Amino acid sequence: MSDALAVDGGAAKSAFLSKERIIAAPGFNRWLVPPAALAIHLCIGMAYGFSVFWLPLSKAIGITAPVACGADLGFFQQVFASDCDWPISMLGWLYTLFFVFLGCSAAIFGGWLEHAGPRKAGVVSAVFWCGGLLISALGVYTHQIWLMWLGSGVIGGIGLGLGYISPVSTLVKWFPDKRGMATGMAIMGFGGGAMVGAPLAAQMMSHFAGPDGVGVWQTFVVMAVVYFIFMMGGALAYRVPPTGWKPEGWTPPVKKANDEMITKGHVHVSKAWKTPQFWLVWAVLCLNVSAGIGIIGMASPLLQEVFGGRLIGTHQSFGELSPEQLAQIAIIAAGFTGLLSLFNIAGRFFWSSFSDLIGRKTTYFVFFALGFLLYAMVPWTGHLGSVAFFVFSICLILSMYGGGFATVPAYLADLFGTQMVGAIHGRLLTAWAFAGILGPVLVNYIREYQLSIGVAKADAYDITLYILAGLLVVGFICNALVRPVNSKHFMTDAELAAERAIGHDTVVSAADLEWSADPKSKPLVIAAWLAVGIPLAWGIWVTLLKTVVLFS
């Protein structure tokens, strides 16, 4: 093994999963860390694509058509029933559990992760996420939905949280010169996981399906094995820099207007969540995500119901279309959904990288100001009949939704320092859990109410979109109120040293705190990026093929 992958003699004697075991030696190539993070995020990102299982699971008993439960069977009886199929509404609870437990586990275990290190957190994430898939497979095989909720929803959700935050602190420390870009590279994998996993799952279900089953439990088992291999590879490839490391030749830039929010101190997680800055950024993320999730959840029906026959060159409303025409516009809507996935991913990398240039606070100002205009204009594009402008607006909105996720870790590092940014980010992700409930509830219930009072389907989304625009106004105000953290919250030198000792952070000689990558590591870097890049490129290609119908 080359020096670039070696650890010092003392670390080599430590436990295999310990943090001190993975402290990098001089010459380590920091570009090996982002693909390690991507390997984990591409796997757990399949949580976004679980809807690909809903229709097959809704006829797991009937195979060709759903077997409805008796009208006298209550909700809790359906949970344990094994002789009738699950409605999609019950399966949808899995999606809610994913993000509730992601947020909760990230908040609870974020402090532990800072001390245990990313390797141990990544391994635990792999065990929980893939173990949850195996339990879900058992739930499908025995037709017990509670096992799916427990397996993928609860246990898998905990794995999601740990896997999601595992690389954040490490990447911020490896890329002090490119904080936004570094976190964007990893977190875009979470957005891209469904692009790879969903079509792969569809192909596997088709392969395993037969007269005796719909092929879901077998698909869960295969995906659990494949994901475990990838996630373990990513976890074992993690390395952390020694305390005080910086890229060779790099010096922190002189403060400019766009980085006035960047602190020079470090705030402990136990104090960070008590500051007004934490709760303002919590609200910023929650409001941005609530609006974005609202759009994601209704994108397909929104396009179909607003434009109806205009999608296929007629002037009929949605309710006037024949079954054949409805099938045609459903295909177009599927292409639209795929296009949104691409913008979700691209936005995570573009906006987080752009924030390195203009500052994190300014980036969120762009999200809220531009987002407000787009949300307010979408109803107008529908009434005008401009499909192109509608698609452009929604795609840009989704890019900022993804960008919000990718930019917030760097925002936190700017405000609270890098020492405990992973733990602070974990607590902040409770905003995601809250938004995962608020956004869909707002959209779905307002739409249902509009329809119940006789509003046409094409107009039923107008009020919802205006409300989402209003959320962004509140987010703009919250972001404007964010100020630099008062120095009284910073850890003292003694407290920082004690925290670093608990976290097994190693301080080495000044000569070993600045290096460039060992040239011999380049083939390994290329191999690592190909390992994650090829699956991601395949997912993008499949998605592009689906979006072609949108422009045909």
Q: Is 153 a domain residue?
A: yes
**Confidence (pLDDT) at 6:** 39
Pull the structure tokens for residue 232: 């373990």
Lowest mean pLDDT among 260-274, 299-313, 423-437, 530-544: 299-313
**Euclidean distance between CA atoms 166 and 162, whole angstroms:** 6
Residue 164 shares a structural domain with residue 288: no
**Mean of pLDDT values over 41-67:** 87
User: Could you report the per-residue pLDDT of 349-408, keeping only the tens digit for each?
Assistant: 999 999 999 999 999 999 999 999 998 888 887 777 788 888 888 899 999 999 999 999
**Confidence (pLDDT) at 505:** 63
**Confidence (pLDDT) at 388:** 83
Comparison of pLDDT for 71 and 479, the residue scoring more: 479
**Euclidean distance between CA atoms 18 and 506, whole angstroms:** 13
Lowest mean pLDDT among 12-21, 87-96, 253-262, 302-311: 253-262
**Euclidean distance between CA atoms 131 and 158, whole angstroms:** 11
Neighbours of 507 (CB within 10 A): 13
Which stretch of DSSP H or E encloses residue 107? helix 93-116
Q: How confident is the model at residue 286 (pLDDT cuts 50, 70, 90)?
A: very high
Residue 148 shares a structural domain with residue 197: yes
Q: Do 160 and 129 form a contact (C-beta atoms < 8 A)? A: yes
pLDDT of 325 over the 60 cut? yes
Choose from 40-44, 249-253, 288-292 the range with maximum mean pLDDT: 40-44
**Euclidean distance between CA atoms 179 and 182, whole angstroms:** 5
Average pLDDT over the chain reads 86
Q: Is 313 a domain residue?
A: yes
**Confidence (pLDDT) at 511:** 53
Last residue of a domain, one of 241, 272, 290: 241
pLDDT of 55 over the 90 cut? no
Structural domain count, the chain: 2
**Confidence (pLDDT) at 341:** 83
Q: Is 76 a domain residue?
A: no
Residue 303 shares a structural domain with residue 449: yes
**Euclidean distance between CA atoms 136 and 221, whole angstroms:** 9
Neighbours of 538 (CB within 10 A): 14
**Confidence (pLDDT) at 362:** 94
Q: Is 20 a domain residue?
A: no
Comparison of pLDDT for 337 and 505, the residue scoring more: 337
Residue 265 shares a structural domain with residue 231: no
pLDDT of 467 over the 90 cut? no
Q: Do 143 and 136 form a contact (C-beta atoms < 8 A)? A: no
Task: Return the SS3 of 36.
Answer: helix
Last residue of a domain, one of 220, 241, 262: 241
**Confidence (pLDDT) at 261:** 74
pLDDT of 483 over the 80 cut? yes
Comparison of pLDDT for 264 and 119, the residue scoring more: 119
Q: How confident is the model at residue 11 (pLDDT cuts 50, 70, 90)?
A: very low
**Confidence (pLDDT) at 318:** 77
Residue 280 shares a structural domain with residue 227: no
Q: Is 13 a domain residue?
A: no
Non-local (6+) Cβ contacts of 406 within 8 A are 180, 183, 184, 187, 188, 347, 348, 349, 351, 352
User: Could you report the per-residue pLDDT of 22-44, keeping only the tens digit for each?
Assistant: 999 899 999 999 999 999 999 99
Residue 511 shares a structural domain with residue 461: yes
**Euclidean distance between CA atoms 28 and 508, whole angstroms:** 15
Closest CA to 153 of 450, 503, 436, 477: 436
**Euclidean distance between CA atoms 160 and 230, whole angstroms:** 15
Residue 180 shares a structural domain with residue 135: yes
Q: Do 367 and 418 form a contact (C-beta atoms < 8 A)? A: no
Q: Which domain range does residue 299 map to?
A: 253-493+503-515
Task: Return the SS3 of 80.
Answer: helix
**Confidence (pLDDT) at 340:** 84
Lowest mean pLDDT among 316-330, 421-435, 527-541: 316-330
Q: Is 15 a domain residue?
A: no
Q: Do 338 and 547 form a contact (C-beta atoms < 8 A)? A: yes
**Euclidean distance between CA atoms 150 and 136, whole angstroms:** 8
Q: Is 226 a domain residue?
A: yes
**Confidence (pLDDT) at 264:** 84
Residue 252 has what DSSP assignment? P
**Confidence (pLDDT) at 2:** 38
DSSP code per residue over 404-464: HHHHHHHHHHHHH-STTHHHHHHHHTHHHHHHHHHHHHHHHHHHHHHHHTT--GGGTTHHH
Last residue of a domain, one of 241, 264, 288: 241
Residue 465 shares a structural domain with residue 393: yes
Q: What is the CATH number of the domain that holds 209?
A: 1.20.1250.20
Residue 269 shares a structural domain with residue 403: yes
**Confidence (pLDDT) at 411:** 94
Pull the structure tokens for residue 527: 């191999």
Task: Return the SS3 of 244.
Answer: coil
**Euclidean distance between CA atoms 126 and 195, whole angstroms:** 20
Comparison of pLDDT for 439 and 406, the residue scoring more: 406
- pTM for this one? 0.84
pLDDT of 484 over the 50 cut? yes
Residue 208 shares a structural domain with residue 279: no
Residue 265 shares a structural domain with residue 230: no
**Mean of pLDDT values over 307-329:** 81
| Look-up of token digits 């109803």 | 379
**Mean of pLDDT values over 278-287:** 96
Q: How confident is the model at residue 259 (pLDDT cuts 50, 70, 90)?
A: low
Q: Is 540 a domain residue?
A: no
User: Could you report the per-residue pLDDT of 176-217, keeping only the tens digit for each?
Assistant: 888 899 888 888 888 888 889 988 998 999 899 888 889 999
Residue 197 shares a structural domain with residue 109: yes
